[in-house]
Each structure stands twice: as structure tokens, then as C-alpha cells.
């Protein structure tokens, strides 16, 4: 069966040129980047080149890039790191209700350690109001963490404004840019970002590598203690092949790919909304070029996902991480959906290699599947 | 991702549900579930007497809003209950449903409870209507 992958927000395939760039670092240039001999120096050089390449992409001139195992670790390191290094200054952290679980659960854990967290609400599009950020900052606030582009509904947050407020108020600003990196321009300086989370496997790079980028004067405590790798902020032998792949991956998504994904996204949204009693979640334009999150009323997302899967189409309900939970998506609840409608929502996330024909086929299958499942449902459109 | 793996039988009932739909003028309806958890089941029954004069479920249909497991358990409970005396139908357990489907993933076990609850609620409703 022909398979159509529309779940690029979960992960992407590794691009061929990324794989090729990585290969020598598994056996030929396998050295430990901390060794002093030739093998070590060779690995170190590749690691530092990769660091530079990624920082350049973000206009990070005086910034420190710490390689981690991925987005989850970077977000943990950012939030716990700031919290523990600055607890003498204060114990208050501001975040939002629509963060990824790795931010929310880190914040919940910090609450159990005596920190106080403010979870800001969002409007019906999923926007955080910068004024809410400003009015929530207290004397003891040490960090504001707001996701750049939401992983479920794709809404792009006004991070420049939020960053500016944080700078004026002298509070660290962290943003999780796992979904937006290389799709939405990021400029560390212009957007007043003190800590930035990015990762590789959402941008056609390998899994198991990500980064936390820190501004000049940002003070964090490490989580992993050991040999003092990565500026003493993340001990453990460096993943050189991963770093090389990550750096190469930053070049994969081109402007034309963004335009292509946007046009497919809009085609998918238009076609899906032709089905009655459906709507788009998130903002119509201020959204990721590859995200379409749609509610199909009266049916449950998992059932629709499985119907599509049987026809070869891979999508997701909310986020891949929440599949095991029976609770409706916290993001969809935060934008005001009723639980039964939140359960009936599907996230389509496109990739640069998807085609118009694939979207056409998806729309055909979608219409059939929704009709079948609505026949089974006790809830029905009123005509 | 919890890696939910459904049995062949579950998938078969999910894709081709038996006794799906609504009964006009039913003798009993059982409505259970909670949209917050993402599962709502409605079961409709028609009751008549068999040759021994015992009340049996002569027809049964369901409508379900829910995941694959919820739809499959709804379908299976209607198969198990159809033609049974009310007394025997009340004795069907969630394990009977789960076993008939070749096991449900642990996180979806509650769906079989929901199916039992829906069937029992429909029978109770019938008894209440009868007075």
C-alpha cells in the first residue's frame, strides 16, 4: 500500500544529505571529542563546526550552544537550570497553559520543590497576551517560558514582544522552538531570547540530539553532572555524529519548501472544512506552514486516525505524546473547546516532500471516514 | 505514545460493527459514558417473549462516540446479548466481552466495563418503563 506521512510534527525522516554527513563519524572519525590525540581533535573540530553553523543560523553571536539529547532535555535544562541557579533571587516562574508536556511537567515538578508557577491562559486562537505576561511578572519572577509555535495547533506566539517585556523587566525569557526552528525565522538578539530550545528530528535530522542556547549572562545549573562536557552544563561524551547531522539538517528546509507546505496546508484545510461541522483550530494565518489541526464534530479522533491509517495515511490526535492519555488535549481545552470536540480533533502536519496528489487522496479518504464514523456516533449534525 | 496495539478481532469489529444504529421506539435505552473521557455509548433494546415465556432481547443496536475499543466493545456486546434472556444478558461480564475480542489493551479495558454498563442500563430502563 502507498503510505502518506502527514505527521511531521511528531518526527521527520532523516534527509539523505544529513545521513551522508553523519556516516563518517560512526566509524572513520569516531573519536571522543574530549581526547587530546588526533582522533579526539578531529571529532572536536566537527563538533565545534556544527555548533557554529547552528548558532549562525540564529544570529547567536555571543551565545553558548549546549548540545543535549533533544527538546525534552533542553526544556528541562532551561527551566530547572534557571530555577536552581536563581532561587536566591526568587521562586516564581511564568509559563502558559499550552506548553509541551515536558515544560508543563517540569513546572509541576518544580512546584513540588517549592517554586511557584503561573500558567497563563490563551485566547481562542491560542495566543498568549503579552500584557498578561507583563502584569504577571513579580519582583521574585526569575523566568518566563513561552512556546514559539504550538506543537498541536501551530499558533505562532508573539515572542518578540514577550521577549522585549522580559528584557525590560530583567527576567530571563525562554522559548521552546522545536516546531518552528527552520520554518519560522528566529533571531536570538532581535527577539530578546535568553534561552532557546531546538531539536533535530523535527527538521530532517537524527533523533537523540537537540540544543539549548544561552545568552551571554544567563546563569543555569546543570542537571547532569560528570566530566564537565558542554561548558560544564551537560556532562556526557558528546554525540558528534548527531551534532554533525543536526547542523546539516538546519540547511534542509528552504524558502520554497515553506511555500510548498503552506499551499498544501491551505488546500488541506479548505478541503477538510467542506465537511460539515468541522473547524480549524489555531489561527488561520499566524500558524506553522505545515500544521492543520481540525475538529470533526461527533466523532472521536483515535477512530478517525485508525480509519486513515488503514488507508495508508498517518496523522495524529493532538500530539503523539498524549495518545496514551484519555484526557482531552490540554491545548484544545485551553483554547476553549468542549471535551467531546477536543476528542474529535486531528493534527495533520505536512512535510516538504508531500504532494498535491497525496492531499487530494487524503481529502477523499477523510470525507468517507468521517461519514462512516458519524453513522456510528449517537451525536449527529442537526439538519 | 503508549503503543496501543489492537487485536485483529477488535479491528474487525471496529471497521465492521455489528448491530450499529438506532432502534425506533425501543423498549429500553441505556446511555452511559462521559464525553470528557471521550467515550459515550447508547444501547437500544427490543424485548419479546420466547417459547418458554421468558423475556429475551429480540433486537439490539448501538451508537457510540469513542475510540476503536469503544466501538468494538459496543459491537461485541450486542452480538453477545442478542437472543439472550434478560436474566442471562445481565450476567454477561466485562471479561466475556474482552475475551470475545481477544483481549483489549490494558488502557482500554474500561471500555468493556462501559459496554456492560450500557447493556445493563438498557435492561433497567426496560424494567422501569414496564413498571
Q: Which of B2, B35, B70 best probes binding to A when mutated, by most A CB atoms within 10 angstroms?
A: B35
Sequence-ordered strand ranges (E) for chain A: 4-5, 64-68, 92-96, 116-120, 141-145, 172-176, 195-199, 210-214, 278-281, 291-296, 313-314, 345-349
- Check CB contact under 8 Å for B65 and A375: no
Count chain A–chain B contacts defined by CB atoms under 8 A.
68
Q: Give the pLDDT of residue A182.
A: 98
Could you confirm whether B37 is annotated as catalytic?
yes
Say if B39 is an interface residue toward chain A (CB within 8 Å).
Answer: yes
Domains of chain B: 8-130 (3.90.1010.10)
Percent of chain B at pLDDT > 90 equals 81
| Sign, CA torsion A372/A373/A378/A383 | negative
- Check CB contact under 8 Å for A379 and B65: yes
What string of DSSP letters covers B44-106? EEEEEE-TTS-EEEEEEEEEEES-HHHHHHHHHHHHHHTT-BHHHHHT--HHHHHHHTT---G
Say if B86 is an interface residue toward chain A (CB within 8 Å).
Answer: no
- Check CB contact under 8 Å for B35 and A323: no
Spell out which residues of chain B touch residue A339, defining contact as CB-CB under 8 Å: 35-36, 38
Of B17, B37, B42, the CB nearest to A378: B42
Q: How near does any CA of chain B get to the CA of A216, in Å? A: 37
Predicted structure pTM score: 0.94
Q: How near does any CA of chain B get to the CA of A48, in Å? A: 34
Q: Which candidate in B15, B37, B54, B95 is catalytic? A: B37
- Check CB contact under 8 Å for A376 and B17: yes
pLDDT per position as a tens digit, B17-70? 999 999 999 999 999 998 777 889 999 999 999 999 999 999 999 999 999 999
| Per-residue cell: A215 | 545568552
pLDDT per position as a tens digit, A39-83? 999 999 999 999 999 999 999 989 999 999 999 999 999 999 999
Q: Which residues contact A371 (CB under 8 A, 6 or more apart)?
A: none
What ipTM was predicted for this assembly? 0.91
User: How far is the first Cα of chain A from the last one, in angstroms, to the nearest whole number?
Assistant: 37
Of B1, B11, B63, the CB nearest to A376: B63
Q: Give the pLDDT of residue A383.
A: 53
Could you confirm whether B67 is annotated as catalytic?
no
Say if B68 is an interface residue toward chain A (CB within 8 Å).
Answer: yes
Q: Give the pLDDT of residue B3.
A: 54
Q: Give the pLDDT of residue A320.
A: 47
Q: Give the pLDDT of residue B35.
A: 79
Residue A146 to residue A130: CA distance in whole angstroms: 10
| Per-residue cell: A137 | 511578572
**Would residue A2 be called left, alpha or beta, if left means φ above 0 and alpha means ψ between -120 and 50 degrees?**
beta
Q: Which of A151, A301, A344, A378 best probes binding to B when mutated, by most B CB atoms within 10 angstroms?
A: A378
Q: Give the pLDDT of residue A321.
A: 45
pLDDT per position as a tens digit, B1-10? 345 789 999 9
- Find the residue in A nearest to B42 (Cα): A378
Round the CA-based radius of gyration of chain A to a whole number and report it: 21
Q: How near does any CA of chain B get to the CA of A319, in Å? A: 9
Strand-pair partners of A348: A292
Q: Give the pLDDT of residue A324.
A: 47
Domains of chain A: 4-12+254-376 (3.90.1150.10), 17-249 (3.40.640.10)
Residues of chain A with pLDDT under 50: 319-324
Residue A56 to residue A251: CA distance in whole angstroms: 12
- Check CB contact under 8 Å for A340 and B37: no
pLDDT at residue B107 is higher than 90: no
Say if A302 is an interface residue toward chain B (CB within 8 Å).
Answer: yes
Q: Please tell me whether residue A310 adopts helix, strand or coil conformation.
A: helix
pLDDT at residue B106 is higher than 70: yes
Query: What are the φ and ψ backbone dihedral angles of A186, each rounded to 5 degrees?
Result: -130, 130
- Find the residue in A nearest to B4 (Cα): A324
Q: Give the pLDDT of residue A382.
A: 60
Residue A277 to residue A13: CA distance in whole angstroms: 34
Q: Give the pLDDT of residue B1.
A: 37
Say if A30 is an interface residue toward chain B (CB within 8 Å).
Answer: no
Say if B1 is an interface residue toward chain A (CB within 8 Å).
Answer: yes
Q: Give the pLDDT of residue B110.
A: 84
Q: Give the pLDDT of residue B54.
A: 95
Q: How near does any CA of chain B get to the CA of A42, in Å? A: 38
Amino acid at each position: 500500500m502507498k503510505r502518506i506521512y502527514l505527521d511531521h510534527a511528531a518526527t521527520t525522516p532523516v534527509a539523505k544529505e544529513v545521513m551522508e554527513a553523519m556516516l563518517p563519524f560512526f566509524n572513520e572519525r569516531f573519536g571522543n571529542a574530549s581526547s587530546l590525540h588526533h582522533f579526539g581533535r578531529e571529532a572536536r573540530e566537527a563538533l565545534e563546526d556544527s555548533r557554529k553553523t547552528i548558532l549562525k543560523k540564529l544570529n547567536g553571536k555571543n551565545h553558548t550552544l549546549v548540545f543535549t539529547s533533544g527538546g525534552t532535555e533542553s526544556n528541562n535544562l532551561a527551566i530547572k537550570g534557571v530555577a536552581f541557579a536563581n532561587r536566591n533571587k526568587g521562586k516564581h516562574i511564568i509559563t502558559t497553559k499550552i506548553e509541551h508536556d515536558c515544560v508543563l511537567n517540569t513546572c509541576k515538578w518544580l512546584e513540588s520543590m517549592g517554586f511557584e508557577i503561573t500558567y497563563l491562559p490563551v485566547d481562542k486562537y491560542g495566543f498568549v497576551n503579552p500584557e498578561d505576561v507583563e502584569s504577571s511578572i513579580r519582583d521574585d519572577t526569575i523566568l518566563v517560558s513561552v512556546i514559539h509555535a504550538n506543537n498541536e495547533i501551530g499558533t505562532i506566539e508573539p515572542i518578540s514582544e514577550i521577549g522585549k517585556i522580559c528584557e525590560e523587566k530583567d527576567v530571563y525569557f525562554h522559548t521552546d522552538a522545536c516546531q518552528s526552528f527552520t520554518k519560522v525565522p528566529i533571531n536570538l538578539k532581535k527577539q530578546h531570547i535568553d534561552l532557546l530550545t531546538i531539536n533535530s528530528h523535527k527538521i530532517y535530522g537524527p533523533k537523540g540530539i537537540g540544543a539549548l542556547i544561552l545568552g551571554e549572562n544567563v546563569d543555569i545549573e546543570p542537571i547532569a553532572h560528570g566530566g564537565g562536557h558542554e561548558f560544564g552544563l551537560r556532562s556526557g561524551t558528546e554525540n558528534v555524529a548527531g551534532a554533525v547531522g543536526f547542523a546539516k539538517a538546519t540547511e534542509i528546509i528552504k524558502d520554497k519548501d515553506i511555500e510548498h507546505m503552506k499551499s498544501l496546508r491551505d488546500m488541506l484545510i479548505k478541503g477538510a472544512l467542506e465537511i460539515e461541522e468541522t473547524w480549524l483550530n489555531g489561527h488561520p494565518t499566524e500558524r506553522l506552514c505545515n500544521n492543520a489541526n481540525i475538529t470533526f464534530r461527533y466523532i472521536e479522533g483515535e477512530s478517525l486516525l485508525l480509519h486513515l491509517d488503514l488507508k495508508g495515511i498517518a496523522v495524529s490526535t493532538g500530539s503523539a505524546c498524549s495518545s496514551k492519555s484519555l484526557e482531552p488535549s490540554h491545548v484544545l481545552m485551553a483554547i476553549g473547546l468542549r471535551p467531546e470536540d477536543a476528542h474529535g480533533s486531528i493534527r495533520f502536519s505536512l512535510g516538504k516532500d508531500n504532494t498535491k496528489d497525496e492531499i487530494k487522496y487524503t481529502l477523499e479518504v477523510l470525507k468517507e471516514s468521517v461519514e462512516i464514523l458519524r453513522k456510528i456516533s449517537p451525536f449527529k449534525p442537526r439538519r | 505514545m503508549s503503543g496501543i496495539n489492537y487485536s485483529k478481532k477488535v479491528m474487525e469489529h471496529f471497521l465492521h460493527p455489528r448491530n450499529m444504529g438506532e432502534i425506533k421506539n425501543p423498549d429500553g435505552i441505556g446511555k452511559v459514558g462521559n464525553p470528557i473521557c471521550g467515550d459515550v455509548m447508547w444501547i437500544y433494546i427490543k424485548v419479546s417473549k420466547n417459547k418458554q415465556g421468558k423475556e429475551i432481547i429480540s433486537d439490539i443496536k448501538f451508537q457510540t462516540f469513542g475510540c476503536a475499543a469503544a466501538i468494538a466493545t459496543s459491537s461485541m456486546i450486542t452480538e453477545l446479548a442478542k437472543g439472550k434472556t434478560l436474566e442471562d444478558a445481565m450476567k454477561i461480564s466485562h471479561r466475556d466481552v474482552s475475551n470475545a475480542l481477544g483481549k483489549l489493551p490494558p488502557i482500554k479495558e474500561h471500555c468493556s466495563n462501559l459496554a456492560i454498563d450500557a447493556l445493563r442500563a438498557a435492561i433497567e430502563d426496560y424494567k422501569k418503563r414496564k413498571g
